[in-house]
Amino acid sequence: MKNVPLQKGIFLVASPALRDPNFRQTVVLLCEHGPDGALGVVVNRPTEIRITEVLPHIPVLEGQQHVVYAGGPVQRNHLLILYHLPQGPEDTHHVFDGVYLGGNLKALEEILKAPSPTARFRAFMGYSGWAPGQLENELKTGSWITLPASSAAMFEQDQTRLWGDVIRSLGDSYAIYADMPFDPTLN
């Protein structure tokens, strides 16, 4: 299995050997990568916190069951939203194929007021960040597997099974790890 090059719009899949509690059994969407470092969000760690608890001042959210995801260990009190839309909302950053990252709450309200079959969103508290060269070094040590990102995997698949499903898809040498129990004390 050959890793895809580091660039925004890919998945960083934690290798089974990665023991860092912030990233064990995670799938990270890499949203930015360049000479200044890298930024991403962990897409498979839903919390029990509802978005209404984080944004109680937005009436359209009342009664919504959407949960907030733990996006990573950096600025855990900072809300970021991933949107899957045909066109990017203002003040967002294009990641790949109709997926945008930002904090545009007007776009969130529009999605909830006039839902469309293709419009989706996920809210994240915190993000994952790497200093220049840090992620490249982690790749050299085998901490990550890089794969093309998929909006279907992020927005339609059961996120609690995402890491295992991806690991299983990598073939027999990885399949044994797919059902490895998650240790919640590491989160």
- Measuring CA to CA, which residue among 118, 115, 124 is closest to residue 159? 124
Let me know: does 109 contact 58? Beta carbons within 8 Å: yes
* Residue at 59 is within a domain: yes
Tell me the three state secondary structure of residue 69: strand
Where are the extended beta strands (E) located within 43-174? 46-50, 67-70, 74-84, 92-96, 99-102, 120-130, 144-148
Domain extent, residue 15, equals: 10-170
Sort residue 23 into left (φ over 0), alpha (ψ -120 to 50) or beta.
alpha
- What string of pLDDT tens digits covers the 187 residues of the chain? 578 999 999 999 999 999 899 999 999 999 999 999 999 999 999 999 999 999 888 888 888 888 999 999 999 999 999 999 888 888 899 999 999 998 778 888 888 887 777 888 999 999 999 999 999 999 999 999 999 999 999 898 888 899 999 999 998 888 878 877 765 554 4
| Rounded Cα gap, residues 44 and 79, in angstroms | 16
Quick one: pLDDT at residue 62?
84
Q: Is residue 98 part of a domain?
A: yes
CATH code, 160: 3.40.1740.10
Q: How many domains is the chain built from?
A: 1
Q: Is residue 131 part of a domain?
A: yes
